[in-house]
Structure 1
Amino acid sequence: MSKHLYQHIETLWQYMQMGQQLSQADVILVFCSNDVRVAEYAASLYHQKLAPYLLFSGGQGRFTEGLFDKSEAETFATIAKDAGVPSEHILLETHATNSGENVLLTHELLQQKSIQTQRIILVQKPFMERRAFATFEKQWPEHYQSLVVTSTGDAFFDYLNEEFTLDVALTALLEDFSRIKTYPEQGFQTEQIIPDEVEQAYHALLRLNL
Structure 2
Amino acid sequence: MIQHWNTVIEYLAEKEQTSGNYDLAILAGNSLPYLADELIHLYEDGIVENMMLVGGIGHATPFLQKNFKDLGVQVSGPSETELYLDYFQQRYQLEKELFLIETASTNSGENARFALNTIKAAKLNPTRVLLLQDPILQKRIKATFEKEWQAVNPVFTNHVPIIPYIKAIENSILFENEKLKF
Shorter-normalised TM range: 0.7 to 0.9
SS in 1 for 2:109: helix
**Which residue of 125, 150, 172 maps to 1:116?**
125
Q: Partner letter of residue 154 of structure 1?
A: I
User: Which gives a bigger RCO, structure 1 or 2 (Cα 8 Å, sep 6+)?
Assistant: 2
- Match of residue 29 from structure 1: 26
Structure 1: how far apart are the matches of 2:181 and 2:3? 23
**Counterpart amino acid of 2:176?**
D
Does the alignment pair 1:58 with 2:32?
Answer: no
Query: 1:75-121: per-residue Cα shift (whole Å, max 9, x none)?
Result: 11232342355544211100000001111101111111112222111
Letter in 2 for 1:119: R
Correspondence list, 1:154-169, <5 A:
154-156=163-165, 157-159=175-177, 163-164=181-182
Change (3 A) 1:137 1:93: same
Q: State the percentage of identical aligned residues.
A: 25
Which residue in the other structure is 1:147 paired with? 156
Counterpart CA distance in 2 for 1:38 and 1:145 is: 22
Change over 3 Å in CA distance of 1:129–1:159 after alignment to 2: farther
Question: Which residue does the alignment assign to 1:69?
Answer: 77
Equivalences for 1:1-20 in 2 at 5 Å? Answer: 5-20=1-16
Find the aligned partners of 1:94 and 1:26 in 2 and give their Cα distance.
21
RMSD across aligned C-alpha pairs, in angstroms? 2.2
Distance 2:143 2:180 in 1: 29
Amino acid at match of 2:7: T
Structure 1 length as normaliser, TM-score? Answer: 0.68
Query: Is the alpha carbon distance of 1:119 and 1:71 closer, same or farther for their aligned partners in structure 2, counting shifts above 3 Å?
Result: same
Distance 2:180 2:138 in 1: 22
Q: Name whichever structure is richer in strand by fraction.
A: 2
- 1:127 pairs, out of 131, 136, 143, with 136
C-alpha contact 1:13 1:127 (8 A) present in aligned 2:
yes
Match of 1:44 among 26, 29, 41: 41
Name structure 2 gaps, 5 residues minimum.
Answer: 66-75, 166-174
Quick check: 1:16–1:129 contact (8 Å CA) kept in 2? yes
Larger radius of gyration: 1
